[in-house]
Structure 1
Amino acid sequence: MENRVDINDEEEVLHIVMFPWLAMGHLIPFLHLSTNLATKGHRISFISTAGNLRRLPQIPPHLSPLITFVPLPFPSIPNLPPNAESSMDAPHHQAQLLKIAFDFLKQPLSDFLEKISPNPDWIIYDYASHWLPGLAAEKGVSCAFFSLYNAATMVFFGPPADVLSGDCVRSSAEDFTVVPKWVKMESEIVYRVHELTKYMEGSEGNQSDLERFAISIDGSDVVLFRTCVEFEPEWFKLICELYNKPVVPVGFLPPSMVTTKSEDDDKKWIEIKGWLDKHSLNSVVYVALGTEATLSQDELVGLAIGLEQSGLPFFWFHHTAQSKEAQ
């Protein structure tokens, strides 16, 4: 049975600091968790750079007194565009430069923790801030690593202690194409080389992503997972064994549970729902490329032509919120 810790004590109002990695795919789930915790009465200090905070959805009015956005100055890094405050602003080959900039946020964050009152009870942080557990210990604050990846994915990264000791060394995409030795159950789940190529290229540097993950998890008091045990029971049990510390599933945190919709959002959804209602059950395929997939013009045109040539109805949703129906 997995270890569990409840940081949502109904009898105690907590001050919780949120410190996500500089990517919208990380900032948004951290905000969803923040809003969820705020509904239980806890106070949240949500910390990131000013540019990233401006991109976040509006806090529901009834929770805004409990959630405070805290902007930190974005450091200037050679060869990194001055306004590239998020991974969506920088190509993958500049990923390490963005992480270097992120590491420079340690001192401003330390200054904030020194001055803020009341003192934080918890800091919930991301994989890139491998230096945060040490900083939290200096300030006497408990810290929780929040994994936005499910348990099965994190199992492939390996036991943090083995990564840090050198017993688990994987330096190429091919290393992830076999079932890891610590997965004792029967499984055929592995990565394919092309799925890891860009990730491995973007992880090159003085501190690899695997090391950042390992140090961040190893130094935490508790690990939070954006998953449900029912979704991956065997993998969740295994990750608890690998980490040998309290592990808490917080659920999937769907936006509908924790955010409010604007009038424009309602209008968009009415249009989309109207289109979907014209089609029979299980007749529509949903394709999403992720928040940071950057297609070339040729790739975008090829995708559109492929959809048209399928002869099937499709719904094209552009980032400008414009839509198009094709037959």
Structure 2
Amino acid sequence: MDKNIYRLYNKISTKIQGLPAEAESISELPIDQIPSLKKAYDKLQDPLTEFLKNSNVNWIIHDFAPYWLPRVATLLGINLVFFSTFNVTSFVSMGPPSALLGDLQQRPEDFKAVPENLCNIAMKLHETVNYQQI
């Protein structure tokens, strides 16, 4: 095992409170445990940044949880690929990142209306209930 990967693994391999030890991906977590996963990702920022500084990494494939990773990768000149299990309809209905950071869609009911962005797709209430947890 690469010595940098080994050091990173030793820093992050401890059990994280609120998450089952056997869970290996977000799909194995109930929706109410996703906030704990996001907190765990936030704790990775410093050790992962240090790892990336001392490694010869060209690309990173990432998902929604490490929101800070694009900034870190850009500063270090590392290319990024965003991976998501959400379908295109979900992304279009949520709007651009600037809309997500604003206060347009705060409640599940807000997603029932046709978005003001580029499409005329609206979600049903039952489709939006868990978005707040993510």
Given the alignment, which residue of 129, 151, 163 partners 2:100? 163
Show CA shifts across 1:83-125 (max 9, x none). Answer: 3343344321111011211222223322332332xx2233232
What is the deviation of 1:75? 4.2
What is the deviation of 1:193? 1.2
Q: Is the 8 A contact 2:93 2:123 kept in 1?
A: no
| Runs of at least 4 residues off by over 6 Å | none
Cα distance in structure 1, aligned partners of 2:59 and 2:34: 28
Which runs of structure 2 are paired with 1:111-126 in the superposition (5 Å)? Answer: 111-116=50-55, 119-126=56-63
Q: Is the 8 A contact 1:80 1:97 kept in 2?
A: yes
Aligned residue for 1:83? 22
Aligned residue for 1:177? 112
Q: Secondary structure at the match of 1:135?
A: helix
Amino acid of the residue matched to residue 23 of structure 2?
Answer: A
Cα distance in structure 2, aligned partners of 1:138 and 1:121: 13
Percent identity between the aligned chains?
37
Amino acid of the residue matched to residue 62 of structure 2?
Answer: Y
Given the alignment, which residue of 72, 82, 89 partners 1:135? 72
Count of matched residue positions in the alignment of Structure 1 and Structure 2: 126
Please say which structure displays the higher CA radius of gyration.
1
Q: Secondary structure at the match of 2:113?
A: coil
Show CA shifts across 1:181-220 (max 9, x none). Answer: 1235xx4x321111222332x23xxxxxxxxxxxxxxxxx
TM-score (norm 2): 0.73
More helix by share: 2
Cα distance in structure 1, aligned partners of 2:27 and 2:61: 22
Which runs of structure 2 are paired with 1:1-327 in the superposition (5 Å)? Answer: 73-116=12-55, 119-164=56-101, 166=102, 168-183=103-118, 187=120, 189-200=121-132, 202-203=133-134
Cα distance in structure 1, aligned partners of 2:117 and 2:27: 34
Cα distance in structure 1, aligned partners of 2:21 and 2:82: 29
More strand by share: 1
Q: Secondary structure at the match of 2:61?
A: strand
CA RMSD of aligned residues (A): 2.6
Query: Residue 90 and residue 126 in structure 1: after superposition, are their counterparts in 2 closer, same or farther (change >3 A)?
Result: closer
What is the deviation of 1:138? 2.8
Cα distance in structure 2, aligned partners of 1:122 and 1:85: 22
Q: Secondary structure at the match of 1:76?
A: coil
Q: Is the 8 A contact 1:126 1:146 kept in 2?
A: yes
What is the deviation of 1:176? 0.9
Amino acid of the residue matched to residue 103 of structure 1?
Answer: D
| Unpaired runs of at least 5, structure 1 | 1-69, 204-327
Q: Is the 8 A contact 1:76 1:101 kept in 2?
A: no
Q: Secondary structure at the match of 2:83?
A: strand
Q: Is the 8 A contact 2:61 2:80 kept in 1?
A: yes
TM-score (norm 1): 0.34
Aligned residue for 2:5? none
Q: Secondary structure at the match of 1:111?
A: helix
Show CA shifts across 1:10-44 (max 9, x none). Answer: xxxxxxxxxxxxxxxxxxxxxxxxxxxxxxxxxxx
Q: Secondary structure at the match of 2:20?
A: coil
